[in-house]
Amino acid sequence: MKNITIVGGGLVGSLLAVLVAKRGHKVDVYERRSDPRTAEQYAGRSINLVVSHRGWTALKAAGIHERILEITVPVYARMTHDPQGRTNRLPYSIDNKAIYSVSRGELNNRLLSEAEQIPGVTLHFGHRCMDVDLDHASCVFSRKGEEPKTVKADVVLGCDGAFSAVRAKMQYGRFNYSQEYIEHDYKEIAFPAAPDGSPLMDPHCLHIWPRRYYMLMGLANQDGGFTGTLFMPHNAGPEAPDAGFDKVRTEAGADRFLKTHFPDAYAIIPDMTQQYLRHPQSNLVIVRCSPWTHADKAALFGDAAHAMVPFYGEGMNAGYEDCKVLNDLLDEHGDDNWGAVLHAYDEQRVANGHAIADLSLRNFTEMRDLVADPRWILRKKIEGRLQAKHPDQWLPLYSQVKFTNIPYVDALREGQRHDRIMEEVLAMPGIEAMWESEEVERKVLELLESTT
């Protein structure tokens, strides 16, 4: 049995505590916030999350997936809304697979309660990590009104987010690190339920209002409402001079912008303009780093290792896969051999963390722009037909990422190969009329043989 310090009691830290404690280790979780279960309202980011196959794999390993499933809403398709309010439903898969929408706050609260019930787990709230001694696996925590205290452990697991204190100490050594803010920020816009509590849109779709340089999206909550998020440039560019948080600042300007560009959403959100003005504007950061481990003493998980933009809905799932991989490696190497475990963890996860960061940026272009593009929609039809007829040869990139445990690195590589193939297919004369023909099918199969 080891003494494990987990820095960060968010979505990843709380699941990691469950997995590690169930192996018999003593686990202390230190969280900067006060206990979110006792707060009136969850304070923090509010983009709804989706649990996909990788996330469920980790939750099943922890034995808690059924209790998490209770607080989710299955989502089977994208629903795009054009500027005139017309909609188009685009299923995620040909076999009715779903991703699952869940409230960040509800999920975190349930995971903390699950962790707390396990013997050997202690949760410490209101503790800020001030310093980490990586060589000796000790941390200094401060708490309001108290003297800082030093906590010694056998292993420190950093689950403390994009601005990780554990990672900051790793940066003093031989450490690769990059941080990038994308040009877009976001604001929450809540969609209400109908007076009788029923949803005003299809709750089993991810709703997207793609407007090329900006977009609104909404995911269902269990109460009939939706958590919406408006993504828009921090500063408006020449391509869309009215679309920037720096431009849309007044009540009249916000009202005009929202009513013009999202008319059907505006019609069902009575206080859309007031929410826009009242809610905070948050930024989006990408973190890439390596290594994720320090000898047999420390490792990074989740956003501390690989903060990414939320456009694939995989940030949490990638973090949960980190936890599952660690658990599998403890099975393989033994609970006393953390040197071998952490070395193998770093070898397996770093490249995959970089790959899903790249995939998430790629999906941003798809969501805000391509989903409204007739050629993109045609490509999806061709891919769906190929998958139905040749499931062993063609699995679309989205399905690889969301509905399998195929390593992200392999999915990215195969997705790029698919791009090259589909570029040739979509260039075929008359493709719009002949996309269901055997000629197109033969062309794809030939290209699969010859394209690397």
How confident is the model over 368-406, as pLDDT tens digits?
777 678 898 899 999 999 999 999 999 999 999 999 999
At 413, give phi and psi (nearest 5°). Answer: -65, -45
> What pLDDT, on the 0 to 100 scale, is given for residue 42?
46
Q: Environment class of residue 345 by beta-carbon count within 10 Å: exposed (0-12), middle (13-18) or buried (19+)?
A: buried
In angstroms, the CA 96 to CA 79 distance is: 15
> What pLDDT, on the 0 to 100 scale, is given for residue 245?
98
Does this model's pTM top 0.75? yes
> What pLDDT, on the 0 to 100 scale, is given for residue 48?
85
Task: Report, as ranges of residue numbers, the positions in the chain whose pLDDT lies below 70.
Answer: 40-47, 371
Residue at 405: amino acid letter: N
In angstroms, the CA 320 to CA 318 distance is: 5
- Set out the domains of the chain in order of their start, with CATH numbers: 3-49+105-178+287-356 (3.50.50.60), 373-450 (no CATH)
In angstroms, the CA 102 to CA 363 distance is: 20
> What pLDDT, on the 0 to 100 scale, is given for residue 246?
98
pLDDT digits (tens, 9 = 90+) for 393-451: 999 999 999 999 999 999 999 999 999 999 999 999 999 999 999 999 999 999 999 98
> What pLDDT, on the 0 to 100 scale, is given for residue 43?
46
Beta carbons within 8 Å of 30's beta carbon, 6+ residues apart: 5, 6, 7, 8, 9, 124, 127, 129, 139, 141, 151
